[in-house]
Amino acid sequence: MSDTDTRGPTEALRTPIVAVLGHVDHGKTTLLDKIRGSAVSEGEAGAITQHIGATAVPLDTISGMAGSLVDPDDFDLPGLLFIDTPGHHSFTTLRSRGGALADIAILVVDVNDGFQPQTIEAIDILKRTGTPFVVAANKIDTTPGWNAREGAPIQQTYEAQSKQARSRLDENLYRIIGNLSEQGFSADLYWRVQNFQKDVGVVPVSAITGEGIPDLLAVLMGLSQRYMKAEMQIDIAGPGKGTVLEVKEERGFGATLDVVLYDGTVREDERIVVGGTNGPIVTEVRALLQPRPLAEIRTEKRFERVEEVSAAAGVKIAAPDLEDAMAGAPVRVVRDRDLDAVIEAVESELAEIEVETEEEGVVVKADTLGSLEAMANALREAEVPILRAEVGDVAPRDIAIAGTAREPEHRVILGFSVDVLPDAADELDHSEVTLFEHDVIYQLVEDYDEFVEERKRAQQETVLDKIVRPCRFRVLEDHVFRQSNPAVVGVEVLSGTLKNNQYVAKWEGDEPTRVGQLNGIQEQGEDISEARAGSRVSVAIDGPTVGRQIDEGDELWIQLPEKHAKILEQELSGEIPADELEALQGYLDKHRRRDPFWGK
């Protein structure tokens, strides 16, 4: 501890919590595994500790991995705690007041692919939660001509490469820096960054060869030490505060909580308050469980009981009545505080993440409170209304609720990283409810948008089938085959679609006069149901006599009911061909000379 420390006897600096996120297949899990694996070999005698849902890497081990980049004498933070589940699940698990559970994040980007949709989604969450982050520009070892140097700091390995390999890597790195700029972040290669509060540091790494990992750890430690020391200061003996990562059934214990503790201490037999689907749950800790040390992992029991756990740490809590507990919900130790005040604090935290719902909309299910909030934000931006939003797997009740929607496109459940309960799967098969599932938020919203568009297209096609289509055509000279009963004449379709069984009108001045009804169209002696612009066909028209009601050279129109003209102009103008739109416009213009509001 430094001489200037003014912390009280039970105050201590806790370990910063690190989350790893980024696009699918960009190497999040491989990077985490590499850090853990390197730490194990560096620590030998189990210096790193496996927690529930997290891995603690102490400062000495980090220093051993990072070499001269991390001098333990420069730091008084105890090390780093990596959340083991990479991606959104761990990251969108929120802490109070909308901040992420993680104190700092690693955004993994494949140097070859640059930013992908899920990268941008991760950036949006980082922006919203205000979480500091570094970019791990991964897969540098795939650069053509790259000569790998296992576990080396990046500047050392970069300088040992050929000019061509360096140039290729630079191109990819500067594209990532450009991607960050497009998202509103000033960024540069980490060794050029003067102020990490203003600029994002980009660290070139390989999760396979370990190159650049020393630099990544050095940047994480440096950022935490320099900018987060005050936030890491906790009353270690105070009542514990944490967040539920997952709710899991464990044999012999029933429903248990995997919790990341970020403040204070939790002990066996203490009373705790946990956020649940039906409000706060008050219960007592029966057991605190940690994984057995790596050396004993083969023993029959996976966990060992501990009497107390202090922040920052991952721990499994076994207690009664946890069936309704929610992933992402707060956990609070009561100890010497007023129970009602603790319940109220948990309630107010849950209220902050409440999703605004409407009387009509879709049903949303997500794996954690944080991802539920992220889903709600994405749907709000896409202007999709939400009827109900809950944490948990898809249950029969969700199908019943979704089935009550008035609009067919709202009879939908959007499930983010959740399962479908067996009895719900049966019900789904016999319902009109459509389920969309994905573990990528933007993909889920995109799939739903496509579904709505598809429905609209199908509806418009159905309407178009039932609606009278506009058409202007001309009786050809010397093509009268029969004068009446019915009149059979050759015509040229000038614009629009000529369909059988429609009424035919002729304009005289500002008035359209119905002259008959089409009851047959032939092209080269073959019966056809419709003819398009540019066609020359013979038509049979019931009603008129050639030489009286109609003549050679006359311009005729299909008579449009006013309601149909209105639908075509206002709802379907984008669905009909340009020449049909021209025929419609001509027909409306003629009518509106007499009545400006016709068809409006």
pTM, 2 dp: 0.73
Please state the rounded mean pLDDT for residues 347-365. Answer: 88
Question: E strand or H helix at 121, and its extent?
Answer: helix 117-129
Whether residues 220 and 248 share a domain: the answer is no
Segment among 122-126, 152-156, 544-548 with least mean pLDDT: 122-126
Over residues 55-113, the pLDDT tens digits come to 899 998 899 889 899 999 999 999 999 988 766 555 566 555 456 788 999 999 999 99
Q: Is residue 542 part of a domain?
A: yes
| Phi, psi (deg, nearest 5) at residue 348 | -70, -35
Whether residues 273 and 343 share a domain: the answer is yes
Binning pLDDT at 50, 70 and 90, where does residue 494 land?
A: very high
- Residue 295 pLDDT > 50, yes or no? no
**How far is 267 from 270, CA to CA, in rounded Å?**
6
**CA distances (Å), 422 to each of 242, 305, 393, 419, 429, in order?**
32, 34, 10, 9, 11
Whether residues 387 and 261 share a domain: the answer is no
Q: Are 330 and 96 in contact (CB under 8 A)?
A: yes
Cis? peptide before 544, omega within 30° of 0: no
SS (H, E, C) 416-461: ECCCECHHHHHHHHCCCCEEEEECCHHHHHHHHHHHHHHHHHHHHH
Please state the rounded mean pLDDT for residues 274-299. Answer: 81
Whether residues 254 and 347 share a domain: the answer is yes
Whether residues 193 and 261 share a domain: the answer is no
592, two tokens: 């509106």
Over residues 322-342, the pLDDT tens digits come to 999 998 899 999 999 999 999
Q: Token pair 């970019």 is at which residue?
A: 135
Instruction: CATH number of the domain at 499, please.
Output: 2.40.30.10
**How far is 222 from 217, CA to CA, in rounded Å?**
8
**CA distances (Å), 237 to each of 188, 274, 288, 345, 486, in order?**
41, 20, 16, 20, 100
**How far is 485 from 482, CA to CA, in rounded Å?**
8
Owning domain of residue 443: 362-456
Q: Is residue 550 part of a domain?
A: yes
Q: Is residue 464 part of a domain?
A: no
- What interhelical angle do 578-594 and 562-570 show, nearest 10? 130
307, two tokens: 């009497």
**How far is 378 from 134, CA to CA, in rounded Å?**
24
Q: Is residue 1 part of a domain?
A: no
Segment among 135-149, 487-501, 563-577 with least mean pLDDT: 563-577
